[in-house]
Each structure stands twice: as structure tokens, then as C-alpha cells.
Amino acid sequence: MTADSVFADTSPPAFLQLAGNPVRWRLLRELARSDLRVGELTARVGRPQNAVSYHLGRLRAGGLVLTRRSSADHRDSYYHLDLTRCGDLLAATGAALHPGLAAAPAPAGRRRRAVTVRVLFACTGNSARSQIAEALLTHAASDRVEAASAGSHPKDLHPNAVRVMHEYGIDIAGQRSKHLNEFTGHRFDYVVTLCDKVREVCPEFPAGPQPIHWSIPDPAAEGTGQASYPAFRRVAADLHTRIGFFTHRITAPATKG
């Protein structure tokens, strides 16, 4: 085998081509924390909107970034980072450099956080999305996280939310919907809004919790019968993926920098 055949393909892997640009890397970093609108991304990266839109277009074409029309303002859209896709491309990038880098081993000797992390999930009705998110996070990290949920206009717990959680081995039938006002004065480390509308009216909480927004459609808008159930399964699957990454982020040991 000749050296030319070994190094025939010298193109960088897809992830490096997409993320190697400084503006696109900054966009990825911002979207890894929260779903954001183009105007917010423009302000955070300090570049003109046409330049940001161009780079977002490149990231969308590469399958790293997705968009969803805002339910609060249908003229606007939220951008969302597909972390699963990023993970797949990063693994492929490592393998392209050396087979031993296909999957990095977990660092040894890491300890869990000793302090409980407090998280509040908020949506409009607290009947489905935020209840599902609370249940998934509690199930994933109940010994390290104290999760709660509430809504700006609470409605009864949706029966399909109870049903879909059974698929994950979680029973939320005893949960009740709560108003955001019940948590006035409570301290949280993170406040995660799941509804574009409630993001605009979410109250402030003591000690300045980190705000995060996940733009997720309301499955309850599809109704209460069997026909709406696929929407609940999609939302639960989306939240399950997001909660998995979020749990790792908030319970990992703090590191310098």
C-alpha cells in the first residue's frame, strides 16, 4: 500500500468543516445552552444579522441546527442545536484521525456534585411539557437534582402526558398542575422555559438562576384523544434527549474555565 492510497482523502471531516469557522463555533456554543432567535444570536456573537443568517444556513444544511416557528410570534423562529447529531459527527471526526479516538473513555475518579441542583421547568398550562420534563429529570438524577414545574395558566394534567410517561416507566398520575406564583421567592439554579409564550412572561427568581429556553410545541394543542398521542410521544422523545444532555451538564463536577 502506498502513502498516496493511505492519505487519498485529505478533506477534514464534516464536523470540522462546519464548526471550524469561529462564527459558527460561537453559534454552536450559544445554542448548546439554549434555543435562541436570530436576533438574540446576532447580539451574542456581535456580527451583522445577514452574516449570522448565512452561517446558520450552513449549520442547518449540515444537520447540526434545526428551526421551529415561534408559538409566541409566528413571524419569528427559534434555532435549536441537535446535540445527538453533533455527538455522532464528533465520534466520526475522532475515528477519522485515529481508530482509538472513535469513543473517548470516561475520565476516571470523577465525583458527583455534592450540592443539589434546583431546576424549575415552566410552560403555559403545566399540563404536559413541563410535567414530562420534571418527571424525566427526577427519574434521571433524583439524588442530585430537585426538579419542579409550573405554568402561567395552569390546566389539569393531560391524560396523554400520564400515558406517555408510562412508556418510560414513570408514573405521574399523582402530579398536580401549579401556577408559577407558587414559586415566588424560591431559589433555583436553572429555570427552563419550554413554551415560547411563557418565556416572555416568566417571572424573575432570587439569586439569578440561569435561564434556558427549549422551544417545544404544545402536544396538548392536538387534543385529548388517541389522535393526539403521537404528538405527546414526539415531545417526550425530544425532552428525553434534551434531559439526558442537560443532566450530564448540571451534575458533572465543576471545572476551571
The amino acid sitting at 1 is M
Q: Are residues 243 and 134 in the same domain?
A: yes
Same domain, 27 and 90: yes
For the chain, what is the total number of helices (H) and then of strands (E)? 10, 6
Q: Do 38 and 160 lie in a common domain? A: no
Q: Which of 117, 145, 164, 202 is catalytic?
A: 202
User: C-alpha grid cell for residue 165?
Assistant: 410517561
Residue 123 falls in the annotated catalytic set = yes
Q: In this structure, is residue 257 part of a structural domain?
A: no
Distance of alpha carbon 226 from alpha carbon 117, whole angstroms: 36
Please report which confidence band the pLDDT of residue 227 belongs to, taking 50, 70 and 90 as the band edges: confident
Please check whether residues 123 and 218 belong to one and the same domain.
Answer: yes
Q: Is residue 111 one of the residues assigned to a domain? A: no
Question: Which CATH number covers residue 80?
Answer: 1.10.10.10
Which pLDDT belongs to residue 96? 84
Task: Clarify whether residues 20 and 125 are in a common domain.
Answer: no
For the segment 211-238, the average pLDDT, to the nearest whole number, is: 91
Same domain for 129 and 71? no
Residues 29, 121 within the same domain: no
CATH number at residue 193: 3.40.50.2300
C-alpha 187/C-alpha 208 separation (Å) is 8
Say yes or no: 245 and 123 in one domain. Answer: yes
Q: Among 74, 101, 128, identify where a domain stops.
A: 101
SS3 category, 42: helix
Q: Which tens digit of pLDDT belongs to each residue from 62-75? A: 999 999 999 988 88
Among 65, 81, 120, 195, the one annotated catalytic: 195
Domain count, the chain: 2
Residue 238 has pLDDT above 90, yes or no: yes
40 domain-assigned: yes
pTM of the model: 0.88
| All three cell numbers of 30 | 450559544
Q: Considering 81, 123, 165, 231, which one is annotated as catalytic?
A: 123
Per residue in 66-123, pLDDT tens? Answer: 999 999 888 899 999 999 999 999 888 888 888 878 765 545 445 555 578 999 999 9
* Residues spanned by the domain of 232: 117-251
**DSSP code at position 82:** -
Active site residue 195: yes
Percent of the chain surpassing pLDDT 70:
90
Q: Among 210, 212, 207, which residue's Cα sits nearest to residue 187?
A: 207
Question: Residue 60: what pLDDT?
Answer: 96
Q: Is 202 among the residues known to form the active site?
A: yes
